Amino acid sequence: GTTLHLHTIADAVETIVRQTPVTDMHTHLFASEFESLCLWELDDLLTYHYLISETFRWIDMPYEQFWSLSKREQADLIWRTLFVEHSPISEAASGVLNVFRQLGLDTSSRDLQTYRDAWARMTVDGHIDDVMRTAGVRDIVMTNDPLDASERATWERGGGKGDPRFHAALRVDPLLNDWDNAWPQLAGLGYRVSADWTEETVREVRRFLGEWIDRMDALYLAVSMPGDFVYPATDHRTRMIDEAMVPACQEAGIPFALMIGVRRRVNPGLQLAGDMSMKSDVGAVESLCRAYPEQKFLITMLARENQHELAVLARKFRNLMVFGCWWFLHIESMVREMTEMRLELLGLSVIPQHSDCRIFGQLLYKWEYSRRIIAQTLIQKYTRVLETGWTVTEDDVRRDCADLFGGNFWRFLGKPVPAVERGEAR
Ligand code: RAT
Ligand code: ZN
C-alpha cells in the first residue's frame, strides 16, 4: 500500500475513516419488522428525549400537559422552541440540522412543513437503506427487552431476524434493578420464580436468560446500572450476577455489557428525559474482571470522572473492553477528550464509539460527528509516529480503522465480521 507522509496523512486518514463501515454496537433502533418500535419519522426525530429536556429549559408548560399533546404537537413545540426562538447549537439540536443536510433538504428554510413533506415521500425501508448507506453503518445492534410485550410478540412469532444487518442484545435491567416488578412478569411468562432467591428461582432465571439468548441470537447480555452499583456485595445484584447472569453468558459464550452510572428518574415529570448521570465505583468492574477472567465484559460509564480510571483498568484486564461515549458524554468536547485519552492509554484496542440512536436519521449526524473527531485524533497520533521516521501505509490505516469501527467488537465476541460473511465488499 501507499506510504503516507506528514503532508498526506491527514487527507488519507479522513478519507479512510469516512469509508470504513461501522458496526454500531449499542443502539435503540429496531429493524422495520418490529413495526411501531421502529422509529424513523420526522416527529420521532424532533421528540428525541434529549431534545425534550432541552425544550423544558425554555417553556413553562406543566409536564402533564406536554405529555398529553400528540407527538406531532410535541414536535411542533420543540421545533418552535429550540429551532425558531433560539439557535439550535446543542449537540442534539444541531444534529437534526445535520440530518436534514445529509438527506439533501434545504436547512435554510426553517419551514417544518417542507421537512414533513420530504418525509411523506419516504418509505421506512427505503429510508433505513439510505441512512445506513450514507452513514456507512453496516451492522446495528439493537436493545432487546423480552419483558416488553410489544417487542416480545415479534420474537415469539419467530420474527426479529429477517434483516441480517440487525443484531440483538438481550437487555436485562429489570432483573437486576427492579426484581420486585420483574419476578411477577417472569412468573407470568411461565417461569417458576418467586420473590425469594430460591434454588428454583435461580434455575428458572437461568432458563429464561438461556432461552432468550437463543431465541434472539443475542450477541451479548446488557444492563444499565446506577452509579451506586457495588460488587461484590451481599445483595440481590451480586447473587443475580454470580448465580444467573455470568453462568448464562458463559454457557452461551457471550460478553456481559454493563453501562454504569445512571440515576433513573431524578425528575420523573420528564419521563425518559428525566435520568441523570452519577459517579461510580470502578472497583466493581475490577472485581468482576478479576472474579471471572474467562468472562468478557463490555463496559461504558456515564460520569466523565470515571473515564480515566476505567481506561487504566482496561490495561489490567484483557477481558474488559471499553466502549463508546455514552449519552451525556456523546457531545463534541467529551468525545474528543475521551477518544484522545483512550487511544493514548490503550492504543487501538478500544471501541471508541456507539451511537445510542433511537431514530434512524440520527445515525447520520452521530456517526458523521464521531468519525470527524476520531479522524482528527488519529491524524495527531499518526503524525507523532511519522515524525520518528516510522512508516505508515494506507493499508495500516485501513486495518486500524477497521478495528476501531467494528473489528474490535467482533473479535472480542469471538465472531467473524458479519458483513464479510455476507460477502459484501469490505
Ligand atoms: O442514551 C439514551 O438514549 C438513554 O435514554 C438510555 O437508553 C441509555 O442509552 C441506556 O441504554 O440505558
Ligand atoms: Zn442506550
pLDDT by residue (tens digit) across 342-391? 999 999 999 999 999 999 999 999 999 999 999 999 999 999 999 999 99
Among candidate residues 380, 364, 375, the one with its CA nearest the CA of residue 335: 375
Q: Which ligand is nearest the CA of 49, by number?
A: 1
393 φ, ψ to 5°?
-105, 165
State the architecture of 3-421 in CATH terms.
Alpha-Beta Barrel (3.20)
Exposed/middle/buried for 290, CB within 10 Å: 0-12, 13-18, 19+? exposed
State the distance from the centre of ligand 2 to the C-alpha of 259, rounded, in angstroms.
8
Beta-sheet pairing, 170-171 with 221-225: parallel
Q: What's the average model confidence in pLDDT over 35-52?
A: 98
Ligand 1 pocket check for 81: Cβ under 6 Å: no
Among candidate residues 225, 247, 227, the one with its CA nearest the CA of residue 237: 225
Q: How far is CA 381 from CA 10, 63, 142, 167, 321, in A?
A: 11, 47, 32, 33, 21
Joined together, the cell numbers standing for residue 34 give 418490529
Ligand 1 pocket check for 145: Cβ under 6 Å: no
Q: Which ligand is nearest the CA of 224, by number?
A: 1
Q: Which of 24, 26, 28 to mutate to test the pocket of ligand 1 (most atoms within 8 A of CB)?
A: 28
Q: What's the average model confidence in pLDDT over 132-137?
A: 98
State the distance from the centre of ligand 1 to the C-alpha of 266, rounded, in angstroms.
15
**CA torsion, ordered 264, 339, 27, 102, to nearest 10 deg:** 120
Q: What percent of the chain has pLDDT over 90?
A: 97
pLDDT of residue 426: 46
pLDDT of residue 423: 72
Q: What is the ipTM of this complex?
A: 0.97
pLDDT by residue (tens digit) across 147-171? 999 999 999 999 999 999 999 999 9
- Distance of alpha carbon 330 from the chain centroid: 10
Question: Cα separation of 69 and 83, whole Å?
Answer: 19
State the distance from the centre of ligand 1 to the C-alpha of 261, rounded, in angstroms.
11
Atom of ligand 1 nearest to the CA of 173: 12
Question: Cα separation of 221 and 81, whole Å?
Answer: 39
Joined together, the cell numbers standing for residue 305 give 470522572
pLDDT of residue 1: 85
pLDDT by residue (tens digit) across 115-134? 999 999 999 999 999 999 99
- Locate the domains of the chain by residue range: 3-421
Minimal-distance CA residue to ligand 1 atom 5: 272
**Is the pLDDT score of 425 beyond 60?**
no
Instruction: Return the sign of the alpha-carbon dihedral for residues 341, 346, 348, 352.
Output: negative
State the distance from the centre of ligand 2 to the C-alpha of 299, rounded, in angstroms.
12
Minimal-distance CA residue to ligand 1 atom 10: 224
